[in-house]
Amino acid sequence: MDFALTEEQTAIFDMAHGFGQDRIAPHAQAWEKAGDIPKALWPEVGELGFGGLYVSEEAGGAGLSRLDATLVFEALSMACPSVASFLSIHNMCAAMIDKFGSDAMKARVLPEAIPINKVLSYCLTEPGSGSDAAALKTRAQRTNEGFSLTGTKAFISGGGYSDAYVVMARTGDDGPKGISALYVEDGAPGLSFGGLEDKMGWRSQPTRQVQFDDCKIPAENLLGEEGHGFKYAMAGLDGGRLNIAACSLGAAQQALNLTLSYMGERKAFGKSIDQFQALQFRLADMEIELQAARTFLRQAAWKLDTGAPDATQFCAMAKKFLTEAGSRIADQCLQLHGGYGYLADYGIEKIVRDLRVHQILEGTNEIMRLIVARKMLEARG
């Protein structure tokens, strides 16, 4: 068993970290205030190969492992969790198209998606169905030309911003087997968007409802096979959960780094606050939790990469563990900054706000426990 990163993995982390610190971190607060990530950033991210991280090399992607991809998200999230997690969604969609799309769809979509000349969003959740995603009601009716799509998707990251949407819709009966995945381009007739959601965190990326009213979708925009859309949507989520966990890890590490520096400078009762043993113990506890989280994440990623039968369970466990540890650590770091932690200039309060949603999306942490408990009961027999 070898826990060390390879030279190549270290280089991937360093490249992502350098780019994040140089091109994202200095602007993260301004983008949050503007509620906008400039579109011009994405081709720069694409040039590093981050637009198709685990899209196969034959299809023009970077062909990285899931473990390698977690290094990119951990490193980028040290600059801004909102930007890093948005990239994760794009990658999830690109990988779905690579894995399940026809050769014609791959040839049409991926040459634009991989360099991130086109940004992709993922549309599963609806106003009436979140955790119970298979109960979705958006309907795709067969027509002579393809499909007519009608319904509403809720909470869509990049809604009204992205260039295309991977949409899970009902083409058949109730339940997961009646769901298909469709590729919907911005500007499609009948496609519109709700108002901008006013959110606690992830504020630089726009979240809106995505609405379809007899939206005409050509037949060639069916992704893979009819009736398989739910399976495709769930396949993307194992990796998506690792990415979100990695985003929590990177941002919590950044909060801890900032706190370690701050505690050496801040004085109280005649000494720097890092001299209080009670506070040193808190630093140590955070370090221990972060190291445990990192090891657990990489084990789960390794399971997914090697096709281990318990990979889904490990992805769920890692997502739950890391997103909660990340938020706990960020909150502690805010506390150790005293009143300054509450001020935007110190960079901690944004991390606290950005990380909170990681416990809710890509499957809530209650659903993560559900997955784990089911597997435990199954194994018990």
CB of 192 to ligand FAD, least distance (A): 17
Crossing angle (nearest 10°) for helices 229-265 and 66-77: 40
Binding flag, residue 89, ligand FAD (CB under 6 A): yes
Among 5, 15, 41, 370, interactor with ligand FAD by CB under 6 A: 370
125 touching ligand FAD, by CB under 6 A: yes
- According to the binding rule CB under 6 A, does residue 131 interact with ligand FAD? yes
- Judge whether 128 and 99 are in contact, CB under 8 Å: no
124 binds ligand FAD (CB under 6 A): yes
CB of 79 to ligand FAD, least distance (A): 19
The residue annotated as part of the active site, out of 74, 126, 324, 362, is 362
DSSP 156-195: EETTTTSSEEEEEEESSSSSGGGEEEEEEETT-TTEEE-P
Given the complex with ligand FAD, which of 155 and 321 has the nearer CB atom?
155
Instruction: Choose between 91 and 157: whose C-beta lies nearer to ligand FAD.
Output: 157
List the one residue out of 138, 141, 17, 1 whose CA is nearest residue 72: 17
Catalytic annotation present for 362: yes
Rounded to an integer, what distance in angstroms lies between the CA atom of residue 348 and that of residue 176? 41
Nearest to 313 by CA among 292, 299, 332, 324: 299
Q: Comparing C-alpha atoms, which of 8, 53, 67, 86 is closest to residue 314?
A: 67
Span near ligand FAD by CB under 6 A; candidates 15-23, 307-315, 338-346, 363-371: 363-371
Q: Assess 134 for contact with ligand FAD (CB under 6 A).
A: no
Under the criterion CB under 6 A, does residue 157 sit at the interface with ligand FAD?
Answer: yes
Is residue 202 a contact point for ligand FAD (CB under 6 A)? yes
127-163 as b/e, with b when 16 or more CB fall inside 10 Å? eeebeebbebebbbeeeeebbbbbbbbbbbbbbbbbb
CA 246, distance to chain mean position in Å, is 9
Half-sphere exposure of 375 (CA within 13 A, CB side): 15
Give me the least distance between CB of 144 and ligand FAD, in Å please.
29
What SS3 class is residue 124? Answer: coil
54, 155, 296, 321: which one binds ligand FAD (CB under 6 A): 155
- 3 state DSSP class of 228: coil
Stretch that binds ligand FAD, among 155-163, 246-254, 310-318, 319-327 (CB under 6 A): 155-163
Minimum distance of ligand FAD from residue 37's CB (angstroms): 14
- Which residues carry out catalysis? 362
For binding to ligand FAD (CB under 6 A), which residues are involved? 89, 121-125, 130-131, 155-157, 199, 202, 207, 357, 360-361, 364, 366-367, 370
